[in-house]
Amino acid sequence: MQQHFQFSFYADFISDFSYSKELSPDVNDFSGVADHIKDLHWTASQIPKMYTPINSFETLLNQRMVFIIWFIDELTGQYITVGQANITLNQFQSSTAVNANGEEEVTHSLELYKVAVTLANKVVGQVDLEMRYRITDSLEELN
């Protein structure tokens, strides 16, 4: 049976529940009888955009979110949690750049490496994350 992995974010400030594209690792990505996964990697186009009513960078810095890795069991239809990582957003950094119109634009980014993924208080893996935060006047600007 092949497992089709997905991930999602949960936080009370995210206005919609969207999840990643399905990722079906090659059989060669598994080792041994226990089917331990060596590596999962989603490309930028497979990652969902999150929308939040938070329109203040300072407010965002005081928030937390949960990154959840899961799959649907093909036999039972149950959602099975592989693990979760708790992410504090107080490590976002700001940088200023000049956009194509010659205007200064502030970008907020967060890069975390080797964040523990846990299940039932046991570390089951780790995740590297890169996130961007931008304040816009409308959703059309994001597409």
Q: Is 114 left (phi over 0), alpha (psi -120 to 50) or beta?
A: left
Q: Is 80 exceeded by the pLDDT of residue 20? A: no
This prediction has a pTM of 0.72
In a domain, residue 32? The reply is: no
In a domain, residue 141? The reply is: no
Question: CA–CA separation, 51 vs 29, rounded Å?
Answer: 33
State the pLDDT at residue 30.
42
State the pLDDT at residue 115.
93
In a domain, residue 103? The reply is: no
In a domain, residue 60? The reply is: yes
Q: Is 90 exceeded by the pLDDT of residue 48? A: no
In a domain, residue 77? The reply is: yes
Residue 88, class by beta-carbon neighbours within 10 Å (0-12 exposed, 13-18 middle, 19+ buried)?
middle
**Bridge partners, residue 64, by sequence:** 88
Q: Is 60 exceeded by the pLDDT of residue 24? A: no
Under a CB-based contact definition with an 8 Å cutoff, are residues 91 and 110 in contact? yes
Pairing between strand 104-119 and 93-98?
antiparallel
Q: Is 50 exceeded by the pLDDT of residue 89? A: yes
**Bridge partners, residue 95, by sequence:** 107
Comparing 25 with 89, the larger pLDDT belongs to 89
Mean pLDDT of 114-134: 90
Domain interval for residue 116: 5-26+37-91+112-132
Comparing 85 with 79, the larger pLDDT belongs to 85
Number of folded domains in the chain? Answer: 1
In a domain, residue 46? The reply is: yes
For residue 65, how far is the Cα from the chain centroid?
9
Residue 124: what are its φ and ψ, rounded to 5°? -115, -5
- Residue range 4-14, pLDDT digits in tens: 778 888 887 77
